[in-house]
Amino acid sequence: MSSDLVSFSEFERTGWERAETVAAYHAVAPQITTQSAQAVLDAAGVKAGSTVLDVACGAGYLAAAAASRGARPVGVDFSSGQVTLARKQYPGLQFEQGDAVALPFDDQSFDSVVCGFGMCHVADPQAALAEAFRVLKPGGRIAFSVWAGPQRALAFGALYAAIQAHGTADVGLPQGPAFFLFSDHAAAAASLQAAGFTDINVFEAPQFMRGQDPGELFDNIRRGSVRASATLEAQTLQALAAIRKALSDLALRFTTGVQFEVPAPAVVSSGGRPRGA
């Protein structure tokens, strides 16, 4: 791994070890990301009796959804804080600390591998796909979700447009993979194919960011993220005020009654390990 990717990996790992970040993400993200959980499990072929590895499991939402189908999930995350929270949330399930690019499991151990919104935090996503291929049984499937691009996941579009207009995106963060790398359907399919997967499918699953206070959009992103949070912390107070207003204005555009509902779809990509591989 290059020195840039090592730095990025350390940056992400450090960020997700902060208790306040883990808590802020847990307070908001499940209401959004679990909206696409069933689509991910379907794409990975998860069913009763399946052995399932949930990579970058966070607090265990996808693993828990797999267990509710009668599957036998194991969650793995590089953040000890996330693993601790997952074990607290779901004490009957198994969660381990480990890296997506060096999974602590034997070859051909699982029927399915899933990953919910974790690929954008991995320094070397192609290596992570290779590891998923390694631990899958022949005939097994991988499925992972990422945020749709900023033209579709509107809060991210408004955020980064406002940063460009009122602040700066050049804040000295370690260089890592593009955040929206796998939002591109063709790029996701090509990466799966390069890792050896076949029977590839990429589609969009609907999701919404919901709340009552328009200011929640800005506050949730600022507190419950790593890359976006670090970028925001480097802005001037004047720029932050303008960025907050842009996100509040977006929420107001999608407010009906007392609640806003901003589109934030997921892109779900899946593929199978050939039975002869």
User: Domains of the chain (ranges plus CATH)?
Assistant: 3-149+177-210+265-272 (3.40.50.150)
Half-sphere exposure of 173 (CA within 13 A, CB side): 24
Residue 9 pLDDT more than 70? yes
Q: What is the mean pLDDT of residues 203-215?
A: 96
d(CA 220, CA 22): 12
What is the chain's mean pLDDT, rounded?
95
**Coil, strand or helix: which one is 129?**
helix
CB atoms within 10 A of CB 209: 25
Average the pLDDT over 149-168 and give the result.
96
Residue 199: both structure tokens together: 């029977």
pLDDT of 167 > 70? The answer is yes
Tokens of 238: 């004047």
CB count in 10 Å sphere of residue 230? 15
The three-state secondary structure class of 206 is coil
Proportion of the chain above pLDDT 90, given as a percent: 91
Q: What is the mean pLDDT of residues 129-136?
A: 98
What is the pTM for the complete model shown? Answer: 0.94
CA distance 123 to 32: 24
Burial of 56 (0-12, 13-18, 19+ CB in 10 A): buried
Provide mean pLDDT across the span 16-45.
93
Res. 272 pLDDT band, cuts 50 70 90 = very high
Pairing of strands 110-116, 94-97: unpaired
Count other Cβ atoms within 10 Å, centred on residue 175: 12
Number of CB atoms found within 10 A of residue 25's CB: 21
Q: Tell me how far apart the alpha carbons of residues 78 and 10 are, in angstroms, rounded to a whole number.
A: 10
Residue whose C-alpha is closest to residue 75's, from 48, 103, 49, 47: 103
Host H or E run for residue 12 = helix 3-17
Say which amino acid occupies 44.
Answer: A
208-211 vs 259-263, strand pairing mode: antiparallel
Distances (CA, A) of 245 to 30, 159, 218: 25, 10, 9
pLDDT, position 1: 62
| pLDDT level of residue 175 (50, 70, 90 thresholds) | confident
pLDDT band at 256 (very low <50, low <70, confident <90, very high): very high
pLDDT tens digits for 35-81?
Answer: 999 999 999 999 999 999 999 999 999 999 999 999 999 999 999 99
pLDDT tens-place string over residues 82-120: 999 999 999 999 999 999 999 999 999 999 999 999 999
CB atoms < 10 A from the CB of 198, how many?
12
Quick one: pLDDT at residue 6?
Answer: 79
